[in-house]
């Protein structure tokens, strides 16, 4: 299952002003961030049901009351990104990356994105932003990333919005925010039973540390073709569209995975990584070849990659990583291990049995 979240960002208004305006609208529980640059972020519980009308009503109301710009983001199942931009209460721009998502279409048929005007967004962006940068995010020549929330991340950076804040909604903030945000204690809770959070982002010295690098996510994306669900998706698509298009379907799905891996790899801060071409070439030879390349080129990332792969349930690749030195009980910077992550699939799951067997072999 992909990501589902909503969030709103208010420009050039104080945290307290946003809190006061939201409470006057009587919209229930929420969290409001401290100001970062020009923006204050708001996570509203009532919008998490993906009702875009509610989201738009809140954005419009805040914009009108505070006489400023408010942009509201919605991500649906990592397949759709949408936004609505209001200026003093009036809708000035909107965008939907897949407007025909819920309509029946032939395979590969799409009308493309709807809306998204770089000229409207440009005045709100950080100094030095070019119109072409917005155009590339909103209407890329080479297609959208496989994970639609990547559009939000990229837009957020151009607008000067904290991209980590832009990647969360109320539910993610409640359940995972303490492991992600170093300044979470400064977020103002609104509503009954909404409690102030405390950051649990720790490094080995016990102080706030950086978020995990994107390189393991890139590897995990390349390995998606070995997930059991991949074959199931192909079988489903063949039933829907006939057997004559299986090669086209396979290519489009693999291309989308590779595009997602490339996007993640671009965001990695690690030095001396294999290129996307090297990684794809190894992947195309099979799990053993990709695991061998990782063990040779980036052995320090084995644990983090193993955790991502175990979480995704890519059993053939996890088995290959164990053969090439992955330690099932080695902790990452958060104290998590591959075995612990595998256990979340259930004690009777094949992914847990694989990790448990690897851990037992280490004891011998």
Render pLDDT for 285-338 as a digit per residue (tens, 0 to 9).
999 999 999 999 999 999 999 998 998 889 999 999 999 999 999 998 778 899
For 13-31, how does the pLDDT look when each residue is reduced to its tens digit (9 = 90+)? 999 999 999 999 988 999 9
Q: Is the CATH code 3.90.1310 the one for domain 215-363?
A: no
Whats the size of the chain, residue-wise?
364
H-type helices in 143-214, by residue range? 149-159, 170-176
Query: What would the two tokens of residue 32 be?
Result: 């409001």
The domain segmentation of the chain, as residue ranges, is 5-190, 215-363
Contacts of 111 (CB under 8 A, 6+ apart): 99, 100
Determine the Cα–Cα distance for residues 196 and 276; give it in Å rounded to an integer: 42
The CA-based diameter of the chain, rounded to the nearest angstrom, is 68
Better-scored residue on pLDDT, 313 or 229: 313
Give me the mean pLDDT over the 342-354 stretch. Answer: 94
Closest CA to 358 of 293, 312, 302: 302
Query: What would the two tokens of residue 136 be?
Result: 């590339």
Contact criterion met (CB below 8 Å) for 270 and 298:
yes
Sheet holding 80-87, edge to edge: 114-115, 90-96, 80-87, 69-76, 5-11, 39-44, 30-32, 188-190
- Bridge-based pairing of strands 5-11 and 80-87 is unpaired
In sequence order, what are the beta bridge partners of 31? 43, 189
Q: Assess whether pLDDT exceeds 70 at residue 3.
A: yes
Determine the Cα–Cα distance for residues 5 and 12; give it in Å rounded to an integer: 23
In sequence order, what are the beta bridge partners of 5? 75
């Amino acid at each position: 299952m992909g990501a589902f979240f909503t969030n709103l960002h208010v420009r050039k208004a104080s945290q307290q002003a946003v809190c006061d305006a939201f409470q006057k609208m009587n919209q229930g529980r929420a969290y409001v961030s401290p100001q970062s640059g020009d923006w204050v972020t708001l996570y509203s519980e009532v919008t998490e049901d993906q009702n875009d009308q509610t989201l738009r009503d809140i954005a419009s109301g805040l914009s009108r009351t505070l006489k400023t710009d408010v942009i509201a983001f919605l991500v649906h199942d990592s397949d759709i990104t949408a936004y609505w931009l209001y200026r003093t209460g009036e809708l000035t721009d909107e965008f939907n990356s897949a407007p025909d998502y819920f309509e029946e279409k032939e395979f590969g048929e799409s009308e493309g994105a709807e809306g998204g005007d770089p000229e409207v967004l440009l005045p709100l962006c950080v100094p030095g932003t070019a119109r072409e940068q917005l155009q590339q995010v909103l209407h890329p020549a080479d297609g959208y990333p496989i994970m639609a929330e990547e559009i939000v991340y990229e837009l957020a950076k151009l607008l000067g919005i904290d991209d980590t804040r832009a990647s969360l909604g109320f539910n993610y903030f409640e359940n995972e925010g303490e492991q992600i945000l170093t300044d979470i204690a400064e977020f103002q809770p609104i509503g009954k039973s909404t409690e102030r959070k405390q950051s649990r982002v720790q490094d080995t010295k016990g102080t706030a540390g950086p978020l995990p690098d994107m390189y393991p996510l890139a590897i995990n994306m390349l390995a998606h073709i070995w997930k059991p669900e991949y074959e199931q998706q192909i079988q489903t698509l063949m039933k829907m569209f006939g057997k004559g298009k299986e090669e086209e379907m396979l290519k489009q799905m693999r291309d989308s995975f590779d595009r997602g891996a490339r996007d993640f790899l671009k965001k990695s801060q690690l030095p001396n990584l294999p290129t996307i071409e090297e990684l794809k070439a190894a992947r195309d030879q099979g799990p053993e070849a990709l695991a061998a390349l990782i063990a040779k080129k980036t052995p320090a990332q084995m644990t983090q990659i193993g955790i991502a792969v175990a979480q995704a349930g890519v059993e053939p690749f996890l088995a290959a990583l164990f053969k090439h030195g992955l330690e099932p009980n080695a902790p990452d910077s958060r104290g998590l291990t591959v075995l612990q992550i595998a256990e979340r699939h259930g004690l009777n799951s094949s992914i847990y049995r694989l990790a448990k067997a690897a851990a037992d072999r280490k004891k011998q």
